[in-house]
Structures are given as C-alpha cells and as structure tokens.
Amino acid sequence: MNTPLPVTLADIRAAEARIRGRVRHTPLMVDPRLSGVLLKQEYRQETGAFKLRGATNAILSLSADELARGVVTASTGNHGRALAHGARACGARAVVCLSHLVPANKVQAIRDLGAEVRVVGQSQDEAMAEVARAVAEEGLIEVPPFDHPAVVAGQGTLGLELLADCAAPSSVLIPLSGGGLAAGVAAAVRSLSPSTRLVGVTMARGAAMAASLAAGQPVEVPELPTLADSLGGGIGLGNRVTFAMCRALLDDVVLVSEDEIAEAMRHIRAATGDAVEGAAAVGVAAILSGRVKPGPATVCILSGANVAPETFARIL
C-alpha cells in the first residue's frame, strides 16, 4: 500500500483560497525562440519570486498567539524576502537568518521590508542552526523555507494556476532545491494532469536534493558558489515532507552546468526582455543543452528575478 503524501490536492486548493488576492496570477508566455516551450513568469510576483505563495500560506495558517511571538526562518534570499513581506502585512515580527553566500542585493531587500537580518556562517545549514537557537531561546515560530506542509501547499498553487492556463502540458520543468516548489507543483499537476512529465532541474554544483534522491535518503553536500544561488543549501537530514514527495512525484532530475545556466539567462533576456536569476533559468538551460527534449507544450517555471545587477551584467 502506498504511503499517503503529506500534502494533497485538497491542501493545495485550501491554500489557493487562503492566499487569493495576496499573490499575483503570473503570465504564461510562448517562448518565441523555442518551439513548444512556454515560460511561466513567476518572477513577476511582488517580491520577485514564487516564494511569496508558500510564505503567505504558512503565515496565514498561524494562530494569533503564534503571530504575536514572531516568525523566523533560514533562507538563501527569496523565502526570507517573502516571509518579511507576509509578516509585515500581518504586523508580525520577522527574523531571517542568512549565510554569507547570500548576495547582498537579496540581504538588503529583506531589510527593506522591515525584517531583522542575521548573517551567520558559510552555508544554509549554519543559518538553520541559528534558527533552531532562536526558536529555543527566543520563542519565535519557525516558518521553514521548504520542508513544511503549509509552505509546500502554497507553492502548489502555482501548479493549479499553470494548469488553468495550459490544461495538459506535455512536461513541466521545475527548479529543484529543497523541494518545496517541486513537491507542491508536482502534487497539483500529477493530480489533475497525470500524463504530464514532471522534471526537477538543478545546478550541478552542490545539488542537495538531487544527491539525496540518488542516494535514496537525505544526505549532506558541500554548498558551493553558483549562478543558481537560490537553489543552494541542504534539504535537512531529518526532512519530513519534500524528499518523500519529490521521490514519489518527479519523473526525472536533470543537472545543468554553470555555463548552461548563463546561456539560459541570456536566452530568457532575449525572449522576455527581463533579467532572471540563475535558479529561474535552469529549465531553459536543460532544453538549450539538449538534456531535455521539449514536447508540444513544455512549461519552464521561471521562479525568480532577484539577481544582483552586477552578476547579470557580467553574464550578458
């Protein structure tokens, strides 16, 4: 008998109702340069990334007493920004723990939303250790960046939205990091369009979920500098939600190189006129590199646009 997944279509539909009016329905555009490819412009969210969905759903799921205690998270940037945005809207205190690998533009964007920023260590794991301390000693409520049912359900609303605009895509290419986006989108799409192929795409440098899926259990990997910095960090050896969902729902995992990510960033700029971050470009990178052959309706989720201007200028 199959073990029930921790996040269901019903959970995702409930999240959709909860966050309605607080997130944008982002465009799904035809890539003018790649036949059969559709670009889900999720980077057009108010905070520049998909993370607003999960963070908003998680915050709205808290009780008044929990909100009064304040929230804390570890982040590679985009989740922290989303949590800061959601907490400010609810009048709650937010503390965001980041490693020194997080780009300065993302750190400043979090501060600009009124959150308290703590920069510690050289990895996501070290930032998460600071979260654990804040929870134990300061009584803050943790809202994890990915391994939490409410966060995954919120990210899954992107899957529902995608299917509203393209009912039966041949495949969906999803940026893969801790697995919150991949798990949520895959749960929604698998439930409503079972024939759609679901592919997680990530960078070759320090891909923790890819290594964990290959090993059959969560494992640690060194966190390395990469253009896809939003995909960095571990998945947690005690992962409760996303590892099992990614293992059950993803049809394949594809790794792309730094040069391939850079080329995809340039392609997306030419196709859309927009600058996206490396993490958002991995699906297009998989197609341009020939690692994925697009079908008649292949959707690439462009997950965020919070790229440092100097980084993008160097890529161009």
Q: Is 40 a catalytic residue?
A: no
Selecting among 40, 51, 61, 106, the annotated active-site residue is 51
What confidence tens digit (pLDDT) does each residue in 111-159 have?
Answer: 999 999 999 998 888 998 999 999 999 999 999 999 999 999 999 999 9
Mean pLDDT calculated for residue range 87-116: 95
Selecting among 61, 193, 230, 303, the annotated active-site residue is 303
3-state secondary structure 132-154: HHHHHHHCCEECCCCCCHHHHHH
Would you state the structure tokens that stand for residue 167, as one six-digit string?
A: 């009912």
What confidence tens digit (pLDDT) does each residue in 272-296 have?
Answer: 999 999 999 999 999 999 999 999 9
Q: Is 51 a catalytic residue?
A: yes
Length of the chain: 316
Q: What is the pLDDT, as a whole number, of residue 12?
A: 98
pTM, full prediction: 0.95
Measured CA to CA, the distance from residue 84 to residue 111 in angstroms comes to: 8
Statement: residue 1 has pLDDT above 80: no
**Which domains, and CATH codes, for the chain?**
9-51+148-315 (3.40.50.1100), 53-142 (3.40.50.1100)
